[in-house]
Structure 1
Amino acid sequence: CSVDKYLLLDLEYIDDLTAGQESHVFKFADRPALYFNCQLELTTKDHYLGCANERPICKSQIRVEPSEQSYEQSIAATEEE
């Protein structure tokens, strides 16, 4: 389920094993890089075990708080490690 439907809509399922979504190219003027965070759940498709897991139902958006660090601060912290 998409967190920000303005940037990327929920996945569309073409068939049982294929999902995707088109999106326009975008960037933010104050950032040289853009990162995506994805969480995937893979389930076994087995009719004998009662394939009960269906496609997700996206009810509402989840609010994600913006990072407290700037891009430059996160790079500096990574370099220190």
Structure 2
Amino acid sequence: MILSMVSGLEPREQRLLFKGKEREDNEFLHMVGVRDKDKVLLLEDPAIKFIKFSNIYTNFSSAQLLSSISYQGTKL
């Protein structure tokens, strides 16, 4: 939850890596050996990133289509 507030990524969008291995949702960091000053890498899930990009592109394309339809409608 804290990482969500700092990163802006929902838990399902996050991938945590420690010592080169992805950590699962049910693992506690202290239980896998994370100590003070250890490096933990937070990445955005590539699949979620692709879905977000696809949605933005689809919405943008739809907006362009609607604007061209309304522009052609005003020409009539």
> Shorter-chain TM-score: what band?
under 0.3
TM-score by length of 1: 0.21
TM-score by length of 2: 0.22
Higher helix share: 2
Higher strand share: 2
